[in-house]
């Protein structure tokens, strides 16, 4: 039996990079210390913030909810609301929703369940069907990612949140980094920082408190705190996603050469730092003319998708027609598929 490096109790985790072993209690301390350090280092949260936490009910987001709830006892006037975006994937979300609901009720956390049906006009299953029927070239995960962000922004505006926190861990960030390198999307690479903030009032600050914590550790933190059941629950659309392959690749690399993920994350942070010095113009955000969410174009990606899928409401359709009359270049984005 391996013992904890700090006490006599049995170890539940060995950090392969530092070779330090942790018992349950010392692991939880180590984990929370690391996440608090990330929050301080990047100035993520201040007293008086209203934080909206995107929670799926899975291990990472339940860990984030639990950790931030503990933090509210240390930072004055910090308020939390959890939002679960229900994509409407048959047989998938039903398994994780109770994790959030039970936890929130037990600990008195405010929570909102926001469905794709209500906010987008169709569930992800229906969107995928429509998209195949219309021969649109997008994969389920493209819709899901864009629409999840859309719903999160909408809810954040509805409750006047000052911060949106998501549970992206180091593995997620490193995978997205490599995916964007593979497609030569450097613009996206340099926007993968731990915080996105802006002086524009409509752009709500976004933070990733688990940015420097590997997935193995967020999963263990969730299990040790009894936040999720130790069962495997995977999105049925995962096979369409290039992330699946990249994830396997990065894990193989880390197995053979422990510390590879930290190395990749370090190179990403360095790229972001260099880019922030050489770029001449700041990436401009504007308000989408249809939904009012932040967007890098006149009409946001979610609204373009909704238009292609025939999901715009009547008044939104006429708003889009007004925009197209003045900016015909938008129709190229709309129909180029
Ligand atoms: Zn110990
Ligand atoms: Zn929009």
Are 146 and 302 contacting, i.e. CB atoms less than 8 angstroms apart?
yes
What is the average per-residue pLDDT within 143-159?
93
Query: How far is the centre of ligand 1, averaged over its atoms, from the C-alpha of 66 (Å)?
Result: 21
Taking the centre of ligand 1 as the mean of its atom positions, its distance from the CA of residue 104, in whole angstroms, is 29
- CATH topology assigned to domain 29-282: Rossmann fold (3.40.50)
pLDDT by residue (tens digit) across 298-331? 999 999 999 999 999 999 999 999 999 998 888 8
Under 8 Å between Cβ of 156 and 81: no
Structure token pair of residue 316: 């939104």
Beta-bridge mates of residue 52: 81, 164
* Tally of CB atoms within 10 A around 259: 12
Using the mean position of ligand 2's atoms as its centre, give its distance from the Cα of residue 287 in Å. Answer: 8
Closest ligand, as measured to the CA of 296: 2
> Contact, 308 vs 334, CB < 8 A?
yes
Q: What CA–CA distance (Å, rounded) separates 306 from 241?
A: 21
Q: Tell me the ligand closest to 11's alpha carbon.
A: 1
Give the model's confidence band at 284: pLDDT under 50 very low, under 70 low, under 90 confident, else very high.
confident
Q: H or E element: which one contains 206? A: strand 205-207
Q: What residue has token string 């263990």?
A: 220
Predicted pLDDT of residue 281: 59
User: Which ligand has the minimum distance to the alpha carbon of residue 25?
Assistant: 1
Q: Give the C-alpha separation, 154 to 164, whole Å.
A: 11
Model confidence at 274, pLDDT cuts 50, 70, 90, reads very high
Ligand 1 centroid distance, CA of 216 (Å): 19
- Res 233: pLDDT: 67
Structure tokens at 226: 């009894």
Using pLDDT thresholds of 50, 70 and 90, give the confidence band for residue 229. Answer: confident
Give the pLDDT confidence score for residue 243 in this predicted structure: 85
Poorest-pLDDT segment among 17-26, 151-160, 187-196, 200-209: 200-209
Distance from the alpha carbon of residue 150 to the mean position of ligand 2, in angstroms = 8
Ligand nearest to the CA of 320: 2
Is the pLDDT confidence value at 54 over 90? Answer: yes
pLDDT band at 280 (very low <50, low <70, confident <90, very high): low
Which residues lie at CB < 5 A from ion ligand 1? 4, 6-7, 9, 23, 26
Rounded Cα gap, residues 303 and 281, in angstroms: 26
Q: Where does the pLDDT of residue 241 fall: very low under 50, low under 70, confident under 90, or very high at 90 and above?
A: confident
Q: Report yes or no: 85 and 192 within 8 Å, Cβ to Cβ.
A: no
Residue 282 binned pLDDT confidence (cut-offs 50, 70, 90): low
Q: Ligand 2: distance of its center to the CA of 187 in Å? A: 21
pLDDT of residue 215: 95
Tell me the C-alpha distance between 307 and 34, whole Å. Answer: 43
Burial label, 280 (beta-carbon count in 10 A; 0-12, 13-18, 19+): exposed
Confidence of residue 337 (pLDDT cuts 50, 70, 90): very low
Q: Give distance in angstroms: CA of 182 to centre of ligand 2.
A: 28
Q: Where along the chain do its domains lie?
A: 29-282, 287-335
Name the DSSP letter for residue 110: E
* Max avg pLDDT among 29-33, 193-197, 239-243: 29-33
For 13-31, what is each residue's pLDDT tens digit? Answer: 999 999 999 999 999 999 9
pLDDT band, residue 272 (cuts 50/70/90): very high
289 C-alpha to center of ligand 2: Å? 7
CA-to-CA distance for 196 and 208, rounded, in angstroms? 9
**Spatial separation of the C-alpha atoms in residues 58 and 222, rounded to whole Å:** 9
Angle, vertex CA 104, rays to CA 98 and CA 108, nearest 5 = 155
Mean pLDDT of 280-286: 69
Cβ atoms of residues 240 and 141 within 8 Å:
yes
């Amino acid at each position: 039996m391996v013992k904890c490096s700090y006490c006599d109790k049995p170890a539940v985790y060995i950090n392969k990079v530092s070779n330090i072993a942790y018992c349950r209690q010392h692991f939880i301390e180590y984990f929370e210390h690391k996440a608090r350090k990330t929050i301080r280092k990047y100035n993520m949260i201040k007293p008086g913030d209203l934080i909206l936490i995107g929670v799926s009910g899975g291990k990472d987001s339940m860990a984030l909810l639990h950790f931030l709830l503990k933090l509210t006892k240390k930072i004055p006037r910090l308020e939390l609301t959890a939002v679960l975006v229900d994509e409407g994937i048959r047989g998938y979300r039903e398994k994780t929703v109770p994790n959030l609901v039970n936890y929130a009720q037990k600990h008195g956390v405010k929570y909102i369940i926001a469905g794709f049906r209500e906010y987008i006009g169709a569930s992800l299953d229906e969107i995928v069907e429509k998209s195949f029927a219309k021969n649109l070239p997008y994969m389920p995960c493209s819709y899901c990612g864009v629409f999840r962000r859309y719903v999160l922004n909408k809810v954040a505006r509805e409750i006047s949140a000052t911060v949106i926190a998501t549970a992206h861990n180091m593995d997620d960030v490193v995978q997205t980094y490599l995916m964007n390198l593979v497609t030569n999307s450097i613009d996206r690479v340099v926007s993968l920082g731990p915080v996105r903030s802006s002086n524009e009032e409509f752009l709500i600050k976004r933070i990733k408190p688990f940015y420097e914590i590997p997935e193995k550790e967020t999963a263990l933190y969730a299990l040790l705190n009894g936040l999720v059941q130790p069962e495997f629950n995977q999105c049925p659309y995962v096979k369409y996603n290039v992330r699946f392959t990249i994830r396997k690749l990065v894990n193989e690399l880390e197995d053979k050469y422990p510390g590879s993920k930290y190395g990749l994350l370090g190179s990403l942070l360095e790229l972001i730092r260099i880019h922030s010095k050489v770029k001449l113009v700041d990436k401009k955000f504007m308000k989408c003319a249809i939904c009012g969410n932040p967007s890098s174009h006149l009409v946001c990606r979610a609204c373009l998708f909704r238009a292609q899928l025939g999901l715009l409401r009547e008044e939104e359709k006429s708003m889009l027609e007004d925009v197209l009359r003045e900016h015909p270049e938008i129709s190229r984005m709309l129909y180029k598929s």
